[in-house]
Structures are given as C-alpha cells and as structure tokens.
Chain A
Amino acid sequence: MARKDYRLNLPLLMDIMAHNFVNVETVLYLNTHPDCQEVLDLHNRNAERYHRLIDEYQRNHGLLYSNYPDAGYPWNWIDEPWPWEINYRS
C-alpha cells in the first residue's frame, strides 16, 4: 500500500494535550475522592472525547501510541517530530 502522507496537525495535537491534562487532574482528584460522582462524570465525558480525538489523529496524522492497530507502512511510530522537537507557538 502506498504510504499515507501523515503530517503533524498542531491544533489537533494541542486539543489532545488539553484533554490529556484534564484526565491527569480528574485521576488525581478521584484517587483521593473515589465517591465523587460529579468528577467521575467529568472524567468519563472527557476520556470519551480524548479517545475520539486520539483515534482521529492516529488515522490521519501519525501514531501517538505505539500499539495502534492500524499503524502505517513503513512503520510510522518512528516519524519525526518527536514531542521535544515541536515548536508549539509558531
């Protein structure tokens, strides 16, 4: 199969990073407040959106997890840029 032209999509990546951060926060909070239904609902809603965005990114722009079941040929986990090579405010 011809190689798909995966390309960094910075706005989508930043959106994923924002949803990931909400997840970091809800997890830490729930670890010490396991019976807080309100934050649990927020956690689940955010995680659902996170997984939809991740799926969209991995289908069109490259891998964010190395175990994505539809990785590109040739093996596109190694594609640059790596996170430390991106200029986020360009």
Chain B
Amino acid sequence: MWEYKKFLEFPADVRRKDPDLAALIATQFGGPDGELSASLRYLSQMYTMPIPEAKATLNSIGTEELAHFEIIGTLLYKLVSGVPADVIKQTRFAPHYAKWGRANFPEDSSGNPFTSAFFASHEDPIASITENMAAEQKARAVYEYLLDMTEDPAVIDTLAFLREREIVHFQRFGEVLDLLYDYQEKYP
C-alpha cells in the first residue's frame, strides 16, 4: 500500500505568478511523458517481473514518480493561485481556466486529457524495461524544453532537479536490463 508523507521530495517554489508558464508545465502533470504517466507505467509493470531487482526498481521508481506528480502539482498551484481572472484571460492558461478554474487537472500543454494510451505494460520484461529507458530520456528532453521556457530561478531549480532524476532512473533501468539478460541466459 501507499502512505503519504506530509512533505515534498524537493522544496518546489516559484519566484512569481506565471499562468503562461503553468499552461506549459502542465504537460508534466498529465501529458505523454509526464509524471503521472511514468508512475502508472511502472506501477502497472511491476507485478509480472521475473527477478526481485526488477520488481523492487519498478516499485521504488513508480513511487518516486508519484512524488514528482506532487512536485509538478505544487508548481502549477503556486504559479496560478490568487491570480485574478482578468489577468488569466490574457494568458495561455485561459482555456484551462474556462474548464477547470485554477484547479489542477492531468492534461498536456494543449489541454488534451491524460490517457493510459501514453504508455505500455508488457509481460515481456525486456520490452517493458526498454520502453522505460526511452520514457526516461523523453521526460529528460521535455524538462530541457521547459527549462528553455522560463527565467524564474526557483522554477529552474525544481525542473533541473526533476531532469536529473530522469537520468538516475535511466541508469537504474539500464542496470535492471543487464540483470534481466543475465537471468535469461541462465534460465532460457
């Protein structure tokens, strides 16, 4: 089961309100390479993994991605909370506001809702772990695109932290892939 710890994995802050930026960062809340997608991908795949290292890695990284979902949710909340509607009206955040107000909703930066069609969960462990390595690289790339979109030093710190985590996850999945090949060689 999961238990909530009443603190963030990283102290996510913003220096100033910025609804335009929120509309872009939203893609890491509910877009194809976003944190919700990553979390559900790994937490769906873990059950049928053949070796304990793979089960544990998917369980731990899937859990960490949920903490990243919360970090992105925090950024979005801080970027738009208290901004008056007539200011929001002039921003890219206006279409979101028209549907949901200032509440967070898992969607991409164009407002397309989250779907599990964003990811795959295969019984074949090589297929799944290889998918995950690509997913981590795609998420890293998206964080780099987003880093190009802002000059807010607090937002930059947070996005840079999340970008680094994708690199660590890629590394760990690479180790799991090697362990899976060893296992398949031993028990073909």
Q: Which residues of A contact B (CB under 8 A)?
A: 13-14, 16-17, 20-21, 24-25, 27-29, 31-34, 62-67, 77, 82-84, 86-89
Binary contact track B1-31/A, C-beta < 8 Å → 1, others 0: 0011111111111000000000000000000
Whether A84 and B5, one on each chain, are in contact in the complex, defined by CB atoms closer than 8 angstroms, is: no
Cα separation A33 to B175 with both chains bound (whole Å): 9
Cα separation A24 to B53 with both chains bound (whole Å): 15
* Contact of A34 with B13 at beta-carbon distance under 8 Å, contacts A63-B6, A65-B3, A84-B73 already known: no
* Contact of A82 with B6 at beta-carbon distance under 8 Å, contacts A31-B60, A31-B172, A87-B13 already known: yes
Whether A17 and B10, one on each chain, are in contact in the complex, defined by CB atoms closer than 8 angstroms, is: yes
Q: Which residues of B contact A (CB under 8 A)?
A: 3-13, 53, 56-57, 60-61, 64, 70, 73-74, 77-78, 154, 168-169, 172, 175-176, 179
Whether B10 and A31, one on each chain, are in contact in the complex, defined by CB atoms closer than 8 angstroms, is: no
Whether A17 and B70, one on each chain, are in contact in the complex, defined by CB atoms closer than 8 angstroms, is: no
Whether A17 and B8, one on each chain, are in contact in the complex, defined by CB atoms closer than 8 angstroms, is: yes
Q: Show 21 A/B contacts (Cβ-Cβ < 8 Å), sorted by A.
A: A16-B7, A17-B11, A20-B5, A21-B9, A28-B64, A28-B172, A31-B53, A31-B56, A31-B57, A31-B60, A32-B176, A33-B175, A63-B6, A65-B5, A66-B4, A82-B6, A83-B74, A84-B78, A88-B13, A89-B11, A89-B154
